[in-house]
Structure 1
Amino acid sequence: MSLGDDREGQTRTRLPDAGGDVYGGARRGGRSSSRSMITVVGVVVLLIAAIAFANRGGSGSGSASGGEDKPNASSTAATGTRPVKSKSAGIPSGHAHDEQGAQSAAANYAIALGSADMFDKAKRDDILRTIITPSRVSEFEATLDQAYTPAFYKNVGLNEDGSTPTGYTFVSRTSPIGTKVVAASTTSSTVEVWCSGLLGLAGEKSTSPVSNSWFTITMQLEWAGGDWKIVTHSQKDGPTPVPGDERASSADEMAKAVQEFGGFTYAR
């Protein structure tokens, strides 16, 4: 297998998958103290902090130098190739054994780790067994079991057992914006995934309204069992765009959007 060297500035295409309120669009000048322990992906940040697998010494997500560092048309163009042909535990699987496949896997795994399913023990374990390399699954499971405490659930607006309060809609979603390969070989790949996400509780009296933030996840992947699997990952804030002037949606609008709009399978 030959791995190309044109890795800077790559973007992603998204393929549709089958099948007084301040919610969801709320912009904040700063973060409250309760939000300081989590970003919009919540569980991803907690996963990083708890497992201590941070790998922050890698390459940055961009450059402010001259024009030679800017992406060209070929590096940002979509490949047009479907990322996978199957799913496991509802997560895309069977990614290609190349750089394109590693990027597709990293984007799809970011979605899974930032989903509301991570707040359910049984669903969380299914996700981890699907996307984590086999030798690290038990360690991830044990650490997350200790991390998902009644206090953590309460901090994101849920009941102490992790259930959603009656009359509210819990929102936890991650949307990859782009990816970049920073290291690659035939057996391993390190991929940065630039993301936007939503986290909070949609409801008229919610004390944890849905808000969004921007972050970059760095995943170290290895080829195992016919697919790319996560070995370690870390996260940093940004790049973050200037907020727009759109009106924040009401609680009903946000809850309806989350229920009616499905997710995507991501592809390089």
Structure 2
Amino acid sequence: MSPTEEQGYSETGQTRTRLPGGDPYGGAPRRTGRSSSRSLVTVVGVVVLLIAAIAFANRGDSSSTDGPAAKTDQPKAAATAATGSRPVETKSGGIPSGFAHTQQGAQSAAANYAVVLGSADMFNTAWRHQIVDTVYARDVAAAKQSAMDSAYSNEKFLSNIGLAKDGSAPKGQTFVSRVIPVGTKVTSSGSDATTVEVWYTSLFGLSGEASRNPVTESWYTTTYELKWVDTDWKITDFQQKDGPVPVGRDQTASTADDMTKAVEEYGGFTYAR
């Protein structure tokens, strides 16, 4: 299905949900850290492959004031708190767009772009093309598109995470890939170029009784290089690293049914600084 304005990435939802319940996918209660040895192998494999995909697709602190500022050498601490300003009121293909030409606007753009770039829609060719064309600067979008097509269509990669060649989930299972931003900060800023770090947690895996790759949680920080072009902030490059990772609580993981229901019923947000 080709993307339309009415059917954007937001249909997949982008919120984190953890519900109380029984055993995860018929297994043992969740343990602190990386869960069972099988989950650990799965997570390591997925992370390595995703980082490789990102590396293949991508060659290669400042004050909290709202307007563009001159470059500074070191970032200053600033809380990620509501400002009272609406982030955006427009969308392009279902993706938030039209961010303000300010540091707040750059941080909102980075958070929202992190969500869509980490969504399950990236595993669908038509949606992926629309996403990349929307969030990347025009002069780099074509190169990123080609590289990401090669990475996301890799059959071994898709097989390792339990997906079919077309990126679809097995019958009776739901593919979950969601990014939930926790905070943002500007590390360098000029009038038309800004670097923003987004710290987030990620849910990734297959929910369903027969799943061998249950949904797991990971933590990353992605640094986005943004440029002001075409009256909006666009990505020119980004780099990802692990963490900071909090200590996991001793909570019982949800059942496969509860996780699937949550994914289907809970929608996402437009993120603002």
Secondary structure of 1:265's partner? coil
Q: What are the within-5 Å matches in structure 2 for residues 50-69 of structure 1?
A: 50-54=56-60
- Tell me the equivalent position of 1:178: 183
- Tell me the equivalent position of 2:24: 22
Counterpart-to-counterpart distance in 1, 2:205 and 2:93:
24
Kept after mapping to 1: 8 A contact 2:225/2:235: yes
1:210 positional shift: 0.4
1:171 positional shift: 0.3
Kept after mapping to 2: 8 A contact 1:191/1:218: yes
For structure 1, the 5+ residue unaligned runs are 1-15, 60-68
Shift in CA distance, 201/71, structure 1 to aligned 2, threshold 3 Å: same
Q: 1:159-205 CA distances to partner (integer Å, 9 max, x unpaired)?
A: 23211110001100000000000001111000000000100000112
1:47 positional shift: 4.0
1:46 positional shift: 4.2
Establish whether residue 99 from structure 1 lines up as the match of residue 85 from structure 2: no
Establish whether residue 201 from structure 1 lines up as the match of residue 206 from structure 2: yes
Partner amino acid, structure 2, of 1:99: Q
How many residue pairs get aligned? The number is: 233
Secondary structure of 2:44's partner? coil
1:34 positional shift: 4.0
Partner amino acid, structure 2, of 1:22: P
Kept after mapping to 2: 8 A contact 1:21/1:204: no
Give the alignment's Cα RMSD to 1 decimal: 2.4
Secondary structure of 2:198's partner? strand
For structure 2, the 5+ residue unaligned runs are 1-14, 16-21, 63-74
Percentage of identical aligned residues: 50
Q: 1:1-43 CA distances to partner (integer Å, 9 max, x unpaired)?
A: xxxxxxxxxxxxxxx9xxx7426x9552576344324339x75
Q: 1:91-128 CA distances to partner (integer Å, 9 max, x unpaired)?
A: 10000001000000000000000000000000000000
Select 1:140's aligned residue among 140, 144, 153: 144
Kept after mapping to 1: 8 A contact 2:180/2:201: yes
Select 2:44's aligned residue among 33, 36, 40: 36
Counterpart-to-counterpart distance in 1, 2:54 and 2:197:
15
Partner amino acid, structure 2, of 1:232: D
Q: What are the within-5 Å matches in structure 2 for residues 1-268 of structure 1?
A: 21-22=23-24, 26=30, 28=34, 32-39=40-47, 43=50, 45-54=51-60, 71=77, 75-148=79-152, 149-268=154-273
Partner amino acid, structure 2, of 1:161: D
TM-score, length of structure 2 as denominator length? 0.79
Kept after mapping to 1: 8 A contact 2:111/2:198: yes
Secondary structure of 1:158's partner? coil
Kept after mapping to 1: 8 A contact 2:224/2:237: yes
Kept after mapping to 1: 8 A contact 2:46/2:160: no
1:156 positional shift: 1.4
Q: 1:59-88 CA distances to partner (integer Å, 9 max, x unpaired)?
A: 9xxxxxxxxx9846xx44321111001001
Q: Name which of structure 1's ranges 25-34 and 154-163 shifts more when overlaid on structure 2.
A: 25-34
- Tell me the equivalent position of 1:10: none
Partner amino acid, structure 2, of 1:218: T
Secondary structure of 2:56's partner? helix
Shift in CA distance, 204/232, structure 1 to aligned 2, threshold 3 Å: same
